[in-house]
Chains A and B, each alone.
Chain A
Amino acid sequence: KTPVTMNAFELISTSQGLNLGSLFEK
């Protein structure tokens, strides 16, 4: 069942490729 609060962009924004915080992690 699709979660009612999900929209495509919320899902997309969980991508590891969008998490630039990892640039700062050694």
Chain B
Amino acid sequence: MGCLHSTAAREYPGHENPVKLASETAFSVSEVEALYELFKSISCSVVDDGLINKEEFQLALFKNRKKENLFANRIFDLFDVKRKGVIDFGDFVRSLNVFHPNASLEEKTDFTFRLYDMDCTGYIERQEVKQMLIALLCESEMKLADDTIEVILDQTFEDADVDGDGKIGKTEWSDFVIKNPSLLKIMTLPYLRDITTTFPSFVFNSEVDEIAT
């Protein structure tokens, strides 16, 4: 450390270069390296292959590898950018970047739209919202009468489906989110602003000079 001309980030065999990932995201090089610590701990939890599979993702989220969850599956699928059934380090960093406090509202809005457009039709449809609502109720062991679920869906679509075609398009979703900003709360992880503090063990290992990068 301390060499002003040093730009030599550590290399991770089989993974994208931290300097490149930092240049494409809101993370600094040392933050990308700190994320590698997190990635490493998740990706070796079941199979030590340097990739995160669905079971490992669930284990990291719930501390329980057998817990099936519709939403965790959706997040996993969106993180699995290359559609390989696993998340590699580049996918992990770029996807988490959307959750950075400094990421744009457009990116966050777009991510939530894709999250809820489960069938990838370009619309969030009523039956998808119903399916997610029922999944949420099961997960939280809440019971609501069928009529109540329909009332909630009616109300939601009355507010969000402005053209009344029974589905929520991208523009309708953007407008809805602007009126209901709390819906994007899940899209910001304060941890990401200070990731090197979250993983202090990394700091002692860093080979990167932040000034130089």
By a beta-carbon cutoff of 8 Å, the part of chain A in contact with chain B is: 2, 6-24
Contact = CB atoms under 8 A, between A and B. Distances in A.
B156 A9 contact: yes
B173 to A, nearest CB: 9
A17 B189 contact: no
Interface residues of B, number: 42
B61 interface: yes
Contacts, number: 92
The secondary structure that dominates the B interface is helix
Contact of B180 (A9, A11, A14, A20): A9
12 contacts: A2-B152, A6-B155, A8-B129, A8-B132, A8-B152, A11-B137, A14-B136, A17-B61, A17-B62, A17-B139, A22-B62, A23-B42
Nearest to B157: A8
B170 to A, nearest CB: 15
B9 interface: no
A15 B71 contact: yes
Interface string B13-52: 0000000000000000000000000100010000000000
